[in-house]
Amino acid sequence: MTTSEFDSYRPPEEPRRRRRRDRPDGHEKAGGREQGNRRHRSGLAPSTSDGGREMAMVPEPQFSTTASDSYYGRPIVKAPPWDERVAAYLVCGGIAGGSSLLAFGAQLTGRDVLRRNTRITALAAAGVGAVALVADLGRPERFYNMMRTVKLSSPMSLGSWVLAGFSTGAGVAAAADVDRMLGEKLPLGPLRGMLRAVEAPAGGLAALLGAPLAGYTAVLLSDTAMPTWNDAKDDLPFVFVSSASIAASGIAMITTPVRQTAPARALAVLGVVADVVATRYMEARMDPVAVEPLETGRPGMLMKWSERLAIAGGIGTLLGGRHRVVAAVSGAALVTASAFTRFGVFYAGKDSAQDPRFTVEPQKRRLAARRRAGITDDSITTVR
């Protein structure tokens, strides 16, 4: 050990840290993030722990620590380049799909105002959603390539066709009602007769594709490698159709006088129950790590408020649904609840791509579970 007067300028000596080795398989650190991941250690060569130590001129690279570690904490999977426009589309698709079902019911039971309003809602929501979806493409001018093929293995492809078919049906049905609303003053000529003739089947088509439009987005999200979306695959469709039901009913309760909205209110109450139950059930069944993004941070907040608003809206509907103002307020709460659910799920999935832990830990767990069960031939890692 050498000493010199300049030694006093050295930063104080850090005791050499040894990493803990007692973690069996890394599960324990599910709670606290590995802080050591970002830790900069000084002293690359452990043997020189005295004044002969080299001074680090650049931050030291870290050593990877435990078996569940990652490559410098970098993401393993990549989040899709979708922004809020796609989340907005998820909301709109739900509103549109649910509204078309209400419109069809109203059409069959002769509730004119409800039918007109829900048809217009369906068309408007589908239109806004489609525009948002196209705008989010990397090459919006090539959106028509979605119609190049029908591909069963691609929920996005099927969804595009569902959206196209739905928009056609909802568009014709809404056009007929708009024409009627405007006192048949539009210069339609002989087209008006045709419109009247196809109005009912068009409403039927929209209703037929309504539930698929509201629910396929769940498959679209689950059919990805995003840990949270993928892990929710069994129950997310139930969450999405429930939230679509409450959103559509909510809008109907806002737009339509109470004397015609009894079915919408009934659907709202059913939807609230299903939404709360399905969401809780889904979260309970998910992998404890993969569910984390859904329960913490911004998505966690959204999901929590979604549940509160849904319950409040449901109670409001049940108790005061025949009062116009209460109905409208409850309806607004329900629409907001639905939007929160979808935005929450959307953000959670994107967040789950950012931290490799969400990819690595559930995968290691399921691999270990399979090995314990005696299935040892399907690992991607082999020694032969």
Partner 1 sequence: MVQLTQGPDAAVEGNPTADAHYEHPHPRKGFFTDTSICIGCKACEVACKEWNRNPVDSDYTLSNSSFDNSEGLGADTWRHVAFVEQDRQRVEEARESGRALVSLGMPTLRAPGGGTGGADAGAIRPSARTGARSGPLDGPIDAGLVGGLQAGPDMGGLDVLSSLGSAVDSSAVDITPPDTPEFRWLMSSDVCKHCTNAGCLDVCPTGALFRTEHGTVVVQDDVCNGCGTCVAGCPFGVIERRKDGIAQPKTDRSPAPGVHAEKPSKADKAEKADKAEKPKKNKNSGVAQKCTLCYDRMTDGQTPACAQACPTTSIRYGEREDMVVSAQERVAQLHAQGRTEARLYGANPKDGVGGTGSVFLLLDEPEVYGLPPDPRVPTRDLPRMYARAGIAMAGMVAAAGLAFLGGGRR
Rounded distance, CA 343 to CA 283, Å? 16
Rounded distance, CA 125 to CA 324, Å? 23
Site for partner 1 contains 287 (CB under 8 A) = no
Token pair 């709360």: residue: 276
The only residue of 20, 51, 52, 63 in contact with partner 1, by rule CB under 8 A: 63
Specify the residue, 178 or 270, whose C-beta has the smaller distance to partner 1: 270
Min dist. Cβ of residue 91 to partner 1 (A):
16
| Stretch of residues binding partner 1 (CB under 8 A), selected from 102-110, 291-299, 311-319, 340-348 | 102-110
Rounded distance, CA 235 to CA 276, Å? 12
List Cβ<8 Å contacts ≥24 apart for 323-328. 323/258, 324/257, 324/258, 327/253, 327/254, 327/258, 327/261, 327/265, 328/253, 328/254
The only residue of 42, 168, 354, 363 in contact with partner 1, by rule CB under 8 A: 363
Give the closest residue to 287 by CA, choosing from 230, 215, 340, 242. 230
The only residue of 5, 22, 50, 377 in contact with partner 1, by rule CB under 8 A: 377
The only residue of 93, 237, 293, 316 in contact with partner 1, by rule CB under 8 A: 237
List binders of partner 1 among 243-272 (CB under 8 A): 244-245, 259-260, 262-267, 270-271
- Note whether 68 and 105 are within 8 A (CB): no
Contact letters for partner 1, residues 14-53 (x by CB under 8 A): -----x-x----------------------xxxx------
List binders of partner 1 among 172-231 (CB under 8 A): 211-212, 214-216, 218-220, 222-226, 229-230
The only residue of 109, 193, 285, 304 in contact with partner 1, by rule CB under 8 A: 109
List binders of partner 1 among 303-362 (CB under 8 A): 353, 356, 359-360
Q: Residue type at 361?
A: E
